[in-house]
Amino acid sequence: MTLSRSGRVAGLAASLLMAAACSTSQVVPGSPEPAVPTPAGLEKFYNQALQWTGCDTFGGDQGSRFPVDSQCAHVTVPIDYAKPDGGTAQIAISRIKASGKKVGSLLFNPGGPGQAGLWMAAQGQDTPLSQRFDRIGFDPRGVGASVPAIACLTGQEWDAERAEPPKDGSPAGVASAEDENKQFAAHCAERTGDEFLEHVGTREVVQDMDVIRAVLGDQKLTYVGYSYGTRLGYSYAERFPDRVRAMVLDGAVDPDSDPVAESVQQAAGFQKAFDAYATDCATKPDCPLGPDPAQAVTRFHALLAPLWDHPVPTKDGRGLSFGDAVTGVQNTLYAEDNWNVLSAGLAQVANGSGDLLLKLADLYNGRRNDGSYDNSQDAFLAIHCVDDPAVKDRQAVDKQDAEYRKVAPFLDDGHGGDQAPLELCAFWPVPNSATPHKVSVPGLTRTVVISTTQDPATPYQAGVNLAQQLGAALITNKGTRHTVFLSGGVACVDNAVFDYLTDLREPPNGLTCG
């Protein structure tokens, strides 16, 4: 599958630091809002009572992140909101109650798409957020502990998929790649079911978010979304503009970017992150890419190219394939905190071992130690294909592939050809439910967008564009990382957002941090 994820990946060495505030007071909270009417026909969903319990049976892979005071529940929603008397789904949510005078609930989403988010109730521990809000995490429909689950490949099938070398650009390679994409799409339809598969996208998730808002007793939504979670945020604002209290969108997805351009822009972002890493690495005597940043791409290819035909041995016997090596490298480029891990992984490959990069690839792909997988990759691909129009124009796909290799030479495997395969979504069995467009939400309450100058996954300009379209306050963070609030140790950002979320005090115009 030739798609790349722009979800939020926490830094491997990230720490949470708090310091003095750098925001100013501009807006005074208004009086309590009138009750929001319940949509006709959906009363049983909006008025349901939740049964809170411990999270030990909900968390799965997230369980170790839950503090002892966390609670979990399932929220029932219709699979198809146009057929509320039809089948239902269960959305898993988590809660840690406010420790002080409560403002309301604060809903988090980590991105992806397809990332489980129950663990995010623990975000902002020992900050003003934990004092003033019930912090809420949720696994979007089809993901994690929510049921039914999106299911495409088994663990063994994913292992086999990852072990194969990528297909080359020969006619036979293109045909083989497209055949694999067709088989993957067929597995998703068979194992998930067409009806549910058609309703796993952003269109439905934002309506689920409104049900969550209602059953938690909030008249308006307070929300923090990262990466793809920004799409959930602005889509919620479009659908329910009168129900937004406060919204923070960090690492924005550009709503008006077509899929081809977005792919190329993301590749360029990762190249910038790689170049920044190479420059820093070159200052260290043991840099695996050598002392000259200008030769870093060449050295990188020399290290990884042999893996195409001969995976590097690993202790578990699977070996490090070329594809997994690239995935492991990209996983470290989401934040500069991880550069030392990248150097260690490349040094291992140079010494004939692939354990560290394989571990990083397993982390990205959701593989557990027992060989099973969470469904984050299945969900990412399914949601992406439902959300966005498929690119079926072969000339556009060929141009995309050529531009991708040009703007990101470190990701050019050297096996391109005159043609490129159609991606998975071209063979998807159900229609997409959204198209790129400019966002227009007249009268929307003031929101906040955070954009990082050298974000490898979501370009800085995407945040600028989204802020302009929403009429939002823009916080610029200087750095090389993907998303920053509560994870980047940038107190200037964190405290400005604390003031906004708790007291609706806007950041100063043009606030720049880092």
Q: State the pLDDT at residue 488.
A: 72
Residue 64's pLDDT is what? Answer: 67
**Domain assignment of residue 374, yes or no:** yes
Asked whether residue 460 falls in the same domain as residue 414, the answer is no
What integer pLDDT is reported at residue 62 of this predicted model? 72
Residues 191 and 278 in one domain: yes
- Please indicate, yes or no, if residue 148 is contained in any of the structural domains: no
In a domain, 445, yes or no: yes
At residue 106, the pLDDT reads 98
Same domain (yes/no): 347, 448: no
* 344/394 same-domain check: yes
63 within domain boundaries: no
Look up the CATH number of the domain holding residue 472. 3.40.50.1820
Structural domain of residue 295, as residue ranges?
155-195+258-427
431 and 392 Cβ atoms separated by less than 8 Å: no
Number of structural domains the chain divides into: 2
Q: Which of 427, 454, 471 is the last residue of a domain?
A: 427
Q: Is residue 17 in some structural domain?
A: no
Residue 511 is predicted with a pLDDT of 98
User: How is 253-274 classified by DSSP, letter by letter?
Assistant: PPTT--HHHHHHHHHHHHHHHH
Q: Are 188 and 430 in contact (CB under 8 A)?
A: no
Q: What is the pLDDT at residue 37?
A: 85
User: Which residues are designated catalytic?
Assistant: 227, 455, 482
Evaluate whether residue 53 is within a structural domain. Answer: no
The answer to whether residues 344 and 479 belong to one domain is no
Given this model, what pLDDT does residue 27 score? Answer: 33
pLDDT of 250: 98
* Rounded Cα–Cα distance for residues 167 and 421 (Å): 9
Residue where a domain stops, chosen among 404, 427, 450: 427
Residue reference for tokens 């002892």: 68
**Residues β-bridged to residue 94:** 72, 137
pLDDT for the residue 6 = 41
Q: Report residue 499 as tokens.
A: 């003031």
Residues 466 and 332 in one domain: no
Kindly state whether residues 266 and 300 are assigned to the same domain: yes
Residue 290 in any domain: the answer is yes
Place of tokens 């439905």: 204
Asked if residue 504 belongs to a domain, the reply is yes
- Looking at the fold, whether 188 and 288 belong to one and the same domain comes out as yes
What's the CA gap between 339 and 388, in Å, rounded? Answer: 33
> Which neighbouring-strand residues pair with 224?
108, 248
Reading the block at residue 100, the tokens are 């002080």
Q: How far is CA 446 from the centre of its chain?
A: 24
Statement to judge: residues 361 and 450 lie in one domain? no
Question: Do you know the residue count of the chain?
Answer: 514
Is the domain of 219 the same as that of 320?
no
> Of 406, 427, 448, which closes a domain?
427
| Same domain, yes or no: 279 and 292 | yes
CA dist., res. 199 & res. 202, Å (int): 9
* Shared-domain flag, residues 312 and 396: yes
Instruction: Give me the average pLDDT of each 10-residue run along the chain (514 residues).
Output: 40 26 32 71 97 87 76 97 98 97 98 96 96 98 97 97 92 96 98 98 98 98 98 98 98 90 94 98 97 98 96 97 97 96 98 98 96 96 96 94 97 92 97 94 97 96 97 97 92 98 96 96
Give dist(CA 350, CA 340) in Å, integer: 15
What are residue 106's DSSP bridge partners?
135
pLDDT, residue 23, reads 29
